[in-house]
């Protein structure tokens, strides 16, 4: 949909989530090109005869949600569930084997479908982790804001050095639209020497991310030197990580393998001192709560992390498991598990915190004048005597509008 440059779009709604986290009643958000130029009471919104007016009625306007962890390419094996008899390592190996066996065409089709699902769920920005490299070019052409992590886990150790150097070179290339990142799939996926090379020589704007302390099998492999994951790690090369009796997170910290402003997925098996370290490094921990429960992992120590002011973000892993990529579902699951945490705090995990993790806090995460026009509007059953954001967590909100970079990409109002 095209509008002349001088035309502004003014969105009226019953409720608007303000920059401060309060609810503004009977407000307006004005968008000019790809920027927000006004947020405030309806009566103070300037309008001209040329402006486009959109009255969203009994809706809540929010900043666009940011999904901080997906594997879009895994949509090609949608429906592969972990059985009770399978170890996590065996299930992961099976899943990756089937992705490798899939054709590029089928993987690309599944990526396109995944992007549509994300947008339909009110997700305007996604951080995708990719081993195949297929999601980047597709996301570049789609109406969704995106960063792609080049997730390194070479099948052939003999090719590791070449793969790492090519990935570092790629991380320094500029894209017109899609941001980039780099990192090992997990601390055990690359030699320490390769990981140091990535940390020290990646592009200055490239994010660094990895899966960290995800499973009990990872803890067992590092601390006890046994188990199915250890077998998977050492099938093609020897153990490279020395004496690691305190686990993978402790090893990564003591070895200097977690850079400043790191993004760490999962971190289920960590302790208080390790959380202190992550906070000191300005790191972000990305929780995939529903996925964690389905895999049978230990719960991340969320309350301890919040007490230490660790930056928390949310992701959804992939449609392989738990089978959806909607952050409203994640928020609902978390609210059931942690009813004492305020909904305003949880919403920060998919807006403000995620924007800061992407180094985009000055452009995304809140409905603020001058920020990029990424916003959504939702409707849900509302009891006037209830707290609005509490209802948002527990109802099934209908996404009626999704705007990315000033463009309406989902319209159902």
Based on the fold, state whether residues 33 and 115 are members of the same structural domain: no
Based on the fold, state whether residues 278 and 379 are members of the same structural domain: no
Based on the fold, state whether residues 264 and 318 are members of the same structural domain: yes
Looking at 311, 340, 357, the residue that finishes a domain is 357
DSSP helix, strand, coil percent of the chain (3-state; round to 5): 35, 25, 40
Based on the fold, state whether residues 236 and 114 are members of the same structural domain: yes
Based on the fold, state whether residues 284 and 386 are members of the same structural domain: no
Based on the fold, state whether residues 226 and 168 are members of the same structural domain: yes
Based on the fold, state whether residues 57 and 161 are members of the same structural domain: no
In a domain? residue 2: no
In a domain? residue 153: yes
Q: Which domain holds residue 131?
A: 65-357
Based on the fold, state whether residues 53 and 81 are members of the same structural domain: no
138 in Cβ contact with 108 (< 8 Å): yes
Q: What are 330-379's pLDDT values in tens digits?
A: 999 999 999 999 999 999 999 999 999 999 999 999 999 999 999 999 99
In a domain? residue 329: yes
When divided into structural domains, the chain yields a total of 2
What's the CATH code of the domain at 403?
A: 2.30.40.10
Based on the fold, state whether residues 198 and 324 are members of the same structural domain: yes
pLDDT by residue, tens only, the chain of 413 residues = 434 456 899 999 999 999 999 999 999 999 999 999 999 999 999 888 899 999 999 999 999 999 999 999 999 998 787 888 889 999 999 999 999 999 999 999 999 999 999 999 999 999 999 999 999 999 999 999 999 999 999 989 999 999 999 999 999 998 888 999 999 999 999 999 999 999 999 999 999 999 999 999 999 999 999 999 999 999 989 999 998 899 999 999 999 999 999 999 999 999 999 999 999 999 999 999 999 998 999 999 999 999 999 999 999 998 877 667 799 999 999 999 999 999 999 999 999 999 999 999 999 999 999 999 999 999 999 999 999 999 999 999 999 999 999 999 999 99
Q: What are 282-311's pLDDT values in tens digits?
A: 999 999 999 999 899 999 999 999 999 999
Provide Rg for the chain, Cα atoms: 22
Residue carrying the six token digits 């020589």: 201
Based on the fold, state whether residues 211 and 334 are members of the same structural domain: yes
In a domain? residue 1: no
Based on the fold, state whether residues 69 and 48 are members of the same structural domain: no
In a domain? residue 345: yes
Give residues with Cβ within 8 angstroms of 292, minimum separation 6.
266, 268, 299, 300
Record the pTM: 0.96
In a domain? residue 86: yes
Buried b or exposed e, range 121-138, using 16+ CB within 10 angstroms? bbbbbbbbbbbbebbbeb
In a domain? residue 349: yes
Based on the fold, state whether residues 75 and 172 are members of the same structural domain: yes
């Amino acid at each position: 949909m095209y509008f002349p440059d001088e035309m502004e779009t003014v969105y009226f709604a019953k409720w608007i989530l303000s920059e401060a986290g309060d609810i503004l009643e009977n407000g307006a958000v004005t968008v000019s090109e790809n920027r927000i130029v006004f947020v405030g009471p309806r009566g103070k919104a300037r309008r001209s005869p040329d402006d486009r007016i959109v009255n969203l009625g009994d809706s809540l306007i929010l900043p666009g949600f940011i999904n901080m962890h997906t594997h879009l390419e895994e949509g090609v094996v949608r429906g592969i569930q972990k059985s009770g008899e399978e170890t996590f390592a065996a299930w992961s190996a099976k899943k990756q084997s089937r992705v490798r066996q899939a054709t590029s065409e089928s993987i690309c089709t599944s990526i396109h479908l995944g992007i549509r699902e994300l947008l339909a769920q009110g997700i305007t920005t996604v951080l995708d982790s990719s081993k195949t490299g297929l999601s980047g070019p597709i996301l570049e052409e789609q109406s969704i804001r995106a960063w792609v992590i080049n997730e390194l886990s070479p099948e052939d150790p003999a090719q590791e050095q070449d793969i790492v150097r090519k990935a570092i070179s790629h991380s320094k290339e500029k894209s017109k639209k899609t941001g980039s990142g780099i990192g090992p799939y997990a601390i055990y996926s690359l030699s320490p020497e390769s990981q140091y090379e990535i940390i020290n020589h990646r592009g200055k704007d490239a994010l660094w991310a990895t899966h960290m302390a995800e499973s009990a099998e990872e803890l067992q492999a590092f601390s006890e030197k046994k188990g199915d994951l250890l077998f998977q790690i050492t099938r093609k090369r020897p153990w490279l990580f020395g004496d690691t009796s305190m686990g993978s997170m402790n090893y990564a910290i003591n070895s200097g393998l977690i850079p400043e402003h790191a993004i760490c997925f999962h971190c289920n098996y960590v302790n208080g001192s390790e959380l202190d370290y992550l906070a000191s490094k300005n790191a972000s921990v990305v929780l995939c709560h529903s996925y964690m429960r389905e895999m049978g992992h230990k719960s991340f120590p969320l309350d301890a992390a919040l007490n230490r002011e660790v930056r928390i973000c949310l992701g959804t892993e992939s449609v392989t498991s738990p089978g959806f990529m909607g952050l409203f579902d994640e928020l609902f699951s978390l609210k059931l598990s942690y009813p004492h945490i305020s909904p305003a705090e949880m919403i920060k995990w998919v807006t403000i915190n995620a924007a800061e993790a992407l180094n985009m806090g000055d452009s995304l995460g809140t409905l603020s004048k001058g920020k990029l026009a990424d916003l959504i509007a939702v409707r849900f059953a509302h009891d006037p005597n209830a707290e609005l954001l509490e209802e948002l967590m527990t109802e099934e909100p209908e996404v009626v509008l999704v705007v990315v970079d000033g463009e309406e990409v989902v319209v159902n109002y």
